[in-house]
Amino acid sequence: MALADVSQGGTVNLDDFSDLIERPDGGIRRDAEERRERLVVPPGALGRLDELGEWLSAAQASVKVRAIEQPKAVLFAGDHGVASLDVSGRRAGTAHELVRAVLDGASPVAVLARSMNVPVRVVDAGLDCDPELLPAEVVRHRVRRGSGRIDVEDALTPEEVEAALRLGIAIADEEADSGTDLVVLGDLSVGGTTPASTLIAALCGTDASVVTGRGGAGIDDLAWMRKCAAIRDALRRARPVLGDQPALLAAVGGADLAAMTGFLLQASVRRMPVILDGVVGAACALVAQRAAFRAPDWWLAGQVSGEPAQAKALDRMALNPLLDHGVHVGEGTGALLALPLVQAAAAFAAELPERPDPTTPDDGGDTPGTPGA
């Protein structure tokens, strides 16, 4: 399958990604580990930054790491019908308000990105609002208006899943082609943690109560019980299609989740590293891992979000979060906070000098037995 075929409208067969995605270069990583042993800073003194530097070497296929110069935050936006059950701290159908806050520079991720000089791209995959409320470059990708109420109906039709996957793949190609060398991936959704938790519970074979959290906006105990019941009912609909990832996304996902899944898979094909944020990104990553087991080698977990479903998904993928600051605002904020760590690891790996070789004569010093000046 040519990569262009998918973004131009061909049928997306997720199984093809298993052949398309290669692991980061293991030989380069071993060479980077050996070089790390020779640096002036003792091995282990930089903690996880050593591991990150070696990971970047393998991802870039270069023993000496290149600086992260063109990172970008990419945020997929969507509304979820299940939010009408009052399972979210925000009103159903108001994800466009989150988008507007980002565009106006008034949200946490926008403030942080501005301070770090990181551009932010918002992609409307399934917002439930009039397109005129937002700029054309945001809404032009929309697959559908909102997603179905997953406890009683499918989130998407098979055709909409196809379109959403192709959208994510196309966005990944656009970013890779434009020179983006690392993506901070986030979501702007209302009700999104409910389908995300459902996907994780289904793929990890666990119960609703184990994965149900309070969401980025925070909910009280009654809302938590409603959310748990919604996930329980959605799980009954998810289990019969567990072996078919597009069908699973259609049943209990959403347009933004399907697009993020396609994005993660194609980013791995294009060898473009991604920092994941919270439970929504973790759910999409878990679906993508089912399609291509090598794909998680291209991802980092930015932070602990406090969502129990995220912890289960990251454990299943063997991804260890970089930060645990108690940040659960969502929108990619936690992943963006982790970016400076990755950039620092790249700088150390690229710029720290090696120790002088003791077997090499020092031409600049006095030779033994010769008086100094």
Return the DSSP state at 41. S
Distance (Å, whole) CA 70 – CA 139:
24
Residue found under tokens 């891992």? 289
Please check whether residue 248 is in contact with residue 156, taking contact to mean a CB–CB distance below 8 angstroms.
no
Distance (Å, whole) CA 237 – CA 153:
8
Please check whether residue 86 is in contact with residue 41, taking contact to mean a CB–CB distance below 8 angstroms.
no
Q: Is 116 exposed, middle or buried (0-12, 13-18, 19+ CB in 10 A)?
A: middle
Could you give the 3-state DSSP secondary structure of residue 94? coil
Backbone angles phi, psi at 120, to 5 degrees: -120, 130
Cα–chain center distance at 235: 23
**Which residues lie closer than 8 Å to 55 by C-beta, 6 or more apart?**
24, 29, 300
Q: Of 97, 331, 351, 354, which is the active-site residue?
A: 331
Return the DSSP state at 196. H
Distance (Å, whole) CA 194 – CA 234:
9
Tell me the CA distances in angstroms from 336 to 39, 75, 121, 134, 265, one per residue in order: 28, 11, 13, 24, 20
Concerning whether 331 is annotated as a catalytic residue, the answer is yes
Return the DSSP state at 354. B
Provide the annotated active-site residues. Answer: 331
